[in-house]
Amino acid sequence: MRKEKNTAAGAWHELASEAVTRSVAKLSRISAGSWAIKDIEAVVSAEALRAPGEEPGAGVIFTVAGPGSLRALLTFRARDVEAVSRCFLGYSFVKMSSMNKAEELLVSEVGNILFNSFLSVISARVGEVMLPSVPHCIQGGLDIIDTAFRGSPGLTPGDAAARLRLTLSCKDGEAECSVLLAMERELFSRLFTSGGAS
Amino acid sequence: MKILVVDDNLLAAVILRTALESLGHEVAEPAQDYETALDACRKSAPDLVFVDLVMPGRDGLELLAALRGEFPATKAAVVTAVDQPGVDARIRELGGAGVLRKPFTMSELRTFIETVVKA
């Protein structure tokens, strides 16, 4: 896995490593194939919010309400969903031009497991219970999904943000998952000054 | 044992239902939210209800409280990917019979049900 030189990116990278190691272990226990982390790359702040390409995919949005609000967007490229499905279920769904409902539910469920691993680490570091919203799955170009997320109520330009690009190998293939996390500065400060990654 | 699964994610509900049926349990048609879960309990009187924690509208914690009030003899367990000690404590306070963490294996599900039944 890549070592981040930038301090902030390094802190996010450490948090992501802890979270993803948990979720990959959990997923491997129940999946038809074995999951592994191939790479984690952390990109912070303004650069993190730069939209990815126009490639089709699906995104799962989570929000955590409360004093230190947190929002997350997990995106999967459409071409990777087949690999995710094959690894998770042992087979893939019939390939269609857009994802069907079953694939959407699968992406939501895998996103749910990945996001809750992040939330578990964050909650433990700040010492607070953080209940996520129902996952909201959207399909489209990754740039459009990103724009929709950034336009959602509650996100402000002052929020701390990071994009974590995860490359997971599963069974015979690989899947990329982008995790875009945005949180209030106050939560960000507590997260990285409470004996955690700073 | 007669079991009800409550989960707004149909895929997750179907996976759990199939697993429970393969273990020999009688599983009612899954409910997808608070209201339909209570209706299903009134109709089928399950012995055990698996409640998803995060659902649209009223969440699993509210459903646990309602089940405890209206169906005190029915055991209710939470099935969730949320993994936080503070949430587990709240579930216990509300009378939850246990927390089955997603994702789970078949043998974990079997052991979990045995533990819940004995408690």
pLDDT per residue as tens digits for the range A52-96:
677 888 899 999 987 678 999 999 888 887 777 777 666 665 555
Q: Mean pLDDT throughout B83-99?
A: 96
Higher pLDDT, A54 or A21: A21
* pLDDT score of A21: 87
Which positions in chain A touch B104 (Cβ < 8 Å)? Answer: 30
Kindly report the nearest CA distance between residue B50 and chain A, in angstroms: 17
With 60 as the cut, is the pLDDT of residue A105 above it? yes
With 80 as the cut, is the pLDDT of residue A34 above it? no
Interface touch B102/A117, C-beta < 8 Å: no
pLDDT tens track for A124-161: 999 999 999 998 888 888 888 888 888 777 778 788 88
Kindly report the nearest CA distance between residue B46 and chain A, in angstroms: 26
Q: Mean pLDDT throughout B110-116?
A: 96
Kindly report the nearest CA distance between residue A138 and chain B, in angstroms: 15
With 50 as the cut, is the pLDDT of residue A196 above it? no
Higher pLDDT, A4 or A20: A20
Q: Are A149 and A75 in contact (CB under 8 A)?
A: no
Q: Are B23 and B112 in contact (CB under 8 A)?
A: no
Most B-contacting residue of A109, A114, A122, A130 (CB-CB within 10 A), to test interface: A109
Q: How confident is the model at residue A1 (pLDDT cuts 50, 70, 90)?
A: low
Interface touch B103/A105, C-beta < 8 Å: no
Kindly report the nearest CA distance between residue A126 and chain B, in angstroms: 12
Q: Mean pLDDT throughout A24-32?
A: 77
Instruction: Name residue A76's beta-bridge partners.
Output: A58, A177
Instruction: Pick the residue from chain B with its C-alpha nearest to A27.
Output: B103
pLDDT tens track for A162-182: 888 888 887 678 888 889 999
Structure tokens at A76: 């999967």
Higher pLDDT, A33 or B86: B86
* pLDDT score of A198: 35
Higher pLDDT, B47 or A108: B47
Among A26-40, A103-117, B71-85, whose mean pLDDT is lowest? A26-40
With 50 as the cut, is the pLDDT of residue B64 above it? yes
Q: What average pLDDT does the structure give for chain A?
A: 80
Distance from C-alpha of A145 to C-alpha of A101, rounded to nearest angstrom: 17
Which positions in chain B touch A116 (Cβ < 8 Å)? Answer: 80-83
Higher pLDDT, A53 or A116: A116
pLDDT tens track for A133-143: 998 888 888 88
Q: How confident is the model at residue A197 (pLDDT cuts 50, 70, 90)?
A: very low
Question: Tokens 């909201």 — which residue?
Answer: A136
Going from the C-alpha of B68 to that of each of B41, B94, B96, the distances in angstroms are: 12, 8, 9
Q: What is the pTM of this model?
A: 0.84
Distance from C-alpha of B116 to C-alpha of B48, rounded to nearest angstrom: 9
Q: Mean pLDDT throughout B39-67?
A: 96
Interface touch B11/A129, C-beta < 8 Å: no
Going from the C-alpha of A64 to that of each of A70, A131, B10, B22, B65, the distances in angstroms are: 5, 6, 23, 36, 22
Q: How confident is the model at residue A22 (pLDDT cuts 50, 70, 90)?
A: confident
In this complex, the residue of A101, A113, A133 whose CB is nearest that of residue B103 is A113
Q: Please classify residue B85 by burial: count the beta carbons closer than 10 Å to its beta carbon, then call 0-12 exposed, 13-18 middle and 19+ buried.
A: exposed
Q: What's the half-sphere exposure (Cβ side, CA atoms, 13 Å) at B93?
A: 8
Q: Does B90 touch chain A (CB under 8 A)?
A: yes
Instruction: Pick the residue from chain A with its C-alpha nearest to B83.
Output: A120
With 90 as the cut, is the pLDDT of residue B84 above it? yes
Long-range CB contacts (< 8 A, 24+ apart) of B12-18?
B12/A105, B12/A109, B12/B52, B12/B102, B16/B50, B16/B79, B16/B109
Q: Does B102 touch chain A (CB under 8 A)?
A: yes
Distance from C-alpha of A83 to C-alpha of A90, rounded to nearest angstrom: 10
What angle in degrees, to the nearest 10, is found between the helix axes of A101-126 and A185-192?
Answer: 60
Helices (H), A90-184: 101-126, 142-150
